[in-house]
Structure 1
Amino acid sequence: MAVATERQDPGPAAAGVRRGGAPPGPRRPAPGPAGRARLTGAAPYLLLLPALAATALLLGWPLVKDGLLSFQNLNMRQLIQHLTEWNGVDNYRETLTSEDFWRVTLRSVIFTAVNVVLIMLLGTLVGLLLARLGSKMRLLLSVGLVLAWAMPTIAATTVFQWLFATRFGVVNWVLDALGWHSMAHYNWTGGQFSTFFVITVLIVWQSIPFVAINLYAATTTIPGELYEAAALDGAGGWKSFTSVTFPFLKPFLLATTFLEVIWVFKAFAQVFAINEGGPDRLTETLPVYAFIEGVGNQHYGMGAAISLLTIAVLLALTSYYLRIVLRQEEDEL
């Protein structure tokens, strides 16, 4: 009669010896609470390290090179002969004592303010319209906004150049057909304000989709019970907007305004492609002014200095805006 015997597990040590290897050593102890706390505290910085490295490589190093270039006298002769002529702060001194620089700076600030106000106003209205439309109309309008937003800048600029062309432009043809016969061959890029009008329409048209779509997304987070409570209290449409919608959208509006200030202030392709800063350099903003002085006039050190001063002006504007935002938040608390 066969007797069933229980098979014994040789264990990991015996298995290791049977395979011809040395028995495994003692296990490393798990990190204690202090070690786990250090790892947890360092995890965010380790995750940010690749992004910080890419930012330092792609943005930091060109900025350092631009800073070094701004202290040099570099034109075509030095560039061809590979000469490095340091001139200290002469480029900055010449720029800051130039009336043209301050005139362009004021023009850039006004241009940015007008565009941002129009973008935020129209973008908010379109975003609220998206929230009120039915699903099919909302989808149709959203597709149109995305297509306008996705169009490359130079392609959009080319379309607007065709729309506002002097002889065969659609805008002049429509105005002539509506009875403004003096606009049949109007040169939209022949004057300062008309050129800025075309550029402003282009930039606002490109920026509205970003504001509208994000604002609509923000409206979807507002609880419907708040609107029901406001309606029970007798609040109309405007009262519901000021008491319910606007407080929820205010952080979004502040953040979006901050982003739009940066985007409009540094706009280069639209301004340069429409008329290259003309006529008579009257529509130059700071980015275009830096390009023309640096590349156009082949004074690269001067262009680098103007570029860094442009960044300083932008930082001053954004810091002032952020200070206002933080002060408002403190007052609300």
Structure 2
Amino acid sequence: MTAADTKAADPPAAPPQKPGKVAPGPSGGGVRPSRKPRPKLPYLLIAPAIVAIGAVFGYPLVETVIMSFQDMRRAHLWGGTTPPWVGFEQFTNILGDPEFWWVAFRTVLFMVVCVVATMGLGLLTALLMQRLSTWVRLLLTGALIAAWSMPLLVATSIFRWLSDSDYGVVNSTLSKIPGLDFQGHNWFLDPWQGFTVIGAVVVWGAIPFVVVTLYAALTQVPRELEEAAQLDGAGVIGVFRNVTFPVIKPVFQMVATLSVIWDFNVFGQIFLMRGNKPEPEYELLGLYSFSKAFDSASFSQGTAIALITVLLLSGVAVYYLRQLMKTGEVE
């Protein structure tokens, strides 16, 4: 048999398949590659944590939703009787009350000011840490961690002493400036001044987390890109706007979103600074819900306000989760 006959006897070669396609089987259908079964061990390992989270957070949330459609009073709470169902009456009363909208506006305004101050000061401090020597940076980091770990009760007590009308350091320091007399000045008679002191407590407690997180993000900025931008004639602001900030932007957005959630729910700072009895002009949504539930003995109204607050923050929480998922995909 010649070479030509051998070549003719061989079966014709199959045409090359395009990438991503599967060659047809004998019956004409495509042969799908078998998928490996997903391991069940990771789900079993996190199951106890999911059950615990569901018990700690899920049950109170369900009870809050149920109570907001009832009229729970002290008699029902202590007597163990079932409160009557009132439907959406609690929500219509709250949303139709002008006081609620003033409190909501005050809450949003306070949150915006605190978030802007926290992110601005935190970013500036993180940029400053890049230009410090190693041992100075370590000392500053230790001081930030110490401030962050300080209990809220201790922090508010310090700021109450600083702003005290008779023995406060702030009043005595300002009085030493020519033309100023702050001896005996009460910062909490005017809500604008009072919220300035409270905002200082909130910002002071939030800056350490922002600084440490943003500084960690700044360490990931390629130095060669910044040097190339400087060689091209870009100034300090231009380098930050076009090179540095685009790299740290995902982290900056996540930290800002967390700050929005935290500052929207400020409760302890105001409650402790005002001696556990905040005046109505110092009420934010959290304190407003607490006041309606316990001072007015309308627990259902308080839970309805809390549920409205959760709904207002749900959009921010969804945005935070989306940013977190995008960051995970990039990495």
TM band (smaller chain)? 0.7 to 0.9
Instruction: Give the match for residue 18 of structure 1.
Output: none
5 Å-filtered alignment, 1:75-224, equals: 75-88=73-86, 89-224=88-223
The one-character-per-residue Cα deviations of 1:245-300 (angstroms, maximum 9, x if unpaired) are 11111111111111100010011101211126977411110001001110222221
Instruction: Give the match for residue 28 of structure 1.
Output: none
Instruction: Give the match for residue 64 of structure 2.
Output: 66
1:55 to 53, 56, 62: 53
What value does the CA root-mean-square deviation take over the aligned residues?
Answer: 2.5
5 Å-filtered alignment, 1:179-328, equals: 179-275=178-274, 280-317=279-316
Pairwise CA distance, 1:99: 1.0
1:276–1:266 Cα change, 3 Å: farther
The one-character-per-residue Cα deviations of 1:212-268 (angstroms, maximum 9, x if unpaired) are 111111111122222232233233322221222111111111111111000100111
TM-score of the superposition, structure 1-length normalised? 0.81
Q: Compare 224-233 and 164-173 and name the one that shifted more.
A: 224-233
Amino acid at match of 2:307: L
The one-character-per-residue Cα deviations of 1:133-172 (angstroms, maximum 9, x if unpaired) are 1101101111111111111112111111111011111111
Amino acid at match of 2:270: V
Unaligned residue ranges in structure 1 (runs of 5+)? 1-32
What is the rounded CA distance, in whole Å, between the counterparts of 2:322 and 2:78 in structure 1? 49
* Aligned 8 A contact 1:167 1:184 in 2: yes
**Bigger helix fraction:** 1
What is the rounded CA distance, in whole Å, between the counterparts of 2:258 and 2:274 in structure 1? 26
What is the rounded CA distance, in whole Å, between the counterparts of 1:221 and 1:156 in structure 2? 33
Q: Percent identity?
A: 38
Q: Secondary structure at the match of 2:283?
A: coil
Q: Compare 277-286 and 142-151 and name the one that shifted more.
A: 277-286
What is the rounded CA distance, in whole Å, between the counterparts of 2:43 and 2:112 in structure 1? 37
What is the rounded CA distance, in whole Å, between the counterparts of 1:282 and 1:59 in structure 2? 31
Instruction: Give the match for residue 6 of structure 1.
Output: none
What is the rounded CA distance, in whole Å, between the counterparts of 2:159 and 2:190 in structure 1? 16
1:98–1:172 Cα change, 3 Å: same
The one-character-per-residue Cα deviations of 1:85-113 (angstroms, maximum 9, x if unpaired) are 22322222211111111111111111111
Amino acid at match of 1:303: G
Unaligned residue ranges in structure 2 (runs of 5+)? 1-32
* Aligned 8 A contact 2:261 2:316 in 1: no
1:114–1:318 Cα change, 3 Å: farther
Pairwise CA distance, 1:126: 0.4
TM-score of the superposition, structure 2-length normalised? 0.82
Aligned residues: 293
Amino acid at match of 1:195: G
What is the rounded CA distance, in whole Å, between the counterparts of 1:52 and 1:322 in structure 2? 20
What is the rounded CA distance, in whole Å, between the counterparts of 2:233 and 2:41 in structure 1? 51
What is the rounded CA distance, in whole Å, between the counterparts of 2:115 and 2:89 in structure 1? 34
Q: Secondary structure at the match of 2:165?
A: coil
Q: Secondary structure at the match of 1:121?
A: helix
What is the rounded CA distance, in whole Å, between the counterparts of 1:146 and 1:224 in structure 2? 27
What is the rounded CA distance, in whole Å, between the counterparts of 1:134 and 1:66 in structure 2? 52
What is the rounded CA distance, in whole Å, between the counterparts of 2:272 and 2:310 in structure 1? 22
* Aligned 8 A contact 1:164 1:188 in 2: yes
What is the rounded CA distance, in whole Å, between the counterparts of 1:179 and 1:278 in structure 2? 36
What is the rounded CA distance, in whole Å, between the counterparts of 2:179 and 2:61 in structure 1? 50
1:46–1:180 Cα change, 3 Å: farther
What is the rounded CA distance, in whole Å, between the counterparts of 2:59 and 2:211 in structure 1? 35
1:66–1:276 Cα change, 3 Å: farther
Q: Secondary structure at the match of 1:159?
A: helix
* Aligned 8 A contact 2:145 2:208 in 1: yes
Q: Secondary structure at the match of 1:165?
A: coil
* Aligned 8 A contact 1:222 1:248 in 2: yes
Q: Secondary structure at the match of 1:49?
A: helix
What is the rounded CA distance, in whole Å, between the counterparts of 2:275 and 2:291 in structure 1? 9
